[in-house]
Copies of this chain bind each other. A is one copy, B any other.
Amino acid sequence: MAASERKKREYAQREDLIIHTARKLLLDVGYLDLNMDRIAEVTEYSKGTIYQHFSCKEEILVAMLSESAEKAGKFLLRGSNLKGKPRERMAAMALGYDLFVCLNPDHFKAKLLVQNESIMRKASPTFQKKLDACNLNNMHIVSGVLRDAVTEGHVKLKKGVTPEEVAFGLWTGALGAYVLMSSEVNLHALGITDPRKAVWENMHALLDGFGWRPLSKELDYEQTRSRILKEVFPKESAQMGML
């Protein structure tokens, strides 16, 4: 009966292979030229076998996104474990996510597509739910740190403003920025020479605006930034040439 165990493992491996191949092809040729025959050819399986794993092309994209969302979650989690004040931990999560996006340029490419309901809808509920769960989990990691800050009295939210709404603000700021960065918009022409730095600055302005202590005039977050890179993401930031 050991065979069925091995079979399962082989199945999972093949699924990984398909996802990774699709990922590579998406980066290389873009969505419109990403086709199933090519995926079959590169994976050295036939189309029929590919369809054994995924019901359609779009489902592969959703699976791809789930996988990288999980990976992103690990970066967030590592950031949240920084020794320090909640706001520093929040900064570490932002930086972690930034590193993740830079190290996984296909993530936002897939995200832009899958965000589109017409594409998401084609995937089977199983895969849809898995992606939803990943996103929810990541949201929880962020709002958890925010809740720590509230209970520890570092930030007092205005009446009617919920922690989720603040997390939403952080989320949308980053999302919008990475959407622009991974799309064809010429940011340089718009006067944005370093969008990643702008995201960092804007996040701190937002947190200052909510009155989340220590404010950026009370603590040198540039120093925190160096500490985060050194303590939490040494390997990744070296890889990105940020140290």
Contacts and interface: CB of A to CB of B under 8 A. Distances in A.
A172 B202 CA distance: 10
Interface string A178-198: 011001111101111001011
A121 interface: yes
A72 interface: no
Given A174-B176, A176-B175, A185-B135, A169 B205 contact: yes
B175 A180 contact: yes
Interface residues of A, number: 61
A27 to B, nearest CB: 10
A168 B205 CA distance: 13
Residue with the highest number of chain B CB atoms closer than 10 Å, among A143, A164, A185, A202: A202
Consensus secondary structure, chain A interface: helix
A90 B10 CA distance: 57
A218 interface: no
Nearest to A162: B191
Interface hub of A29, A58, A173 (most chain B Cβ within 10 A): A173
Nearest to A204: B209
Contacts of A168: 177, 187, 190, 192, 195, 198, 202
A63 to B, nearest CB: 16
Contacts of A113: 116
Interface stretch (A30-38, A96-104, A235-243): A30-38
Shortest 10 CB-CB contacts between residues of A and residues of B:
A30-B118, A176-B176, A209-B209, A172-B176, A205-B209, A164-B191, A169-B202, A175-B176, A208-B209, A115-B183
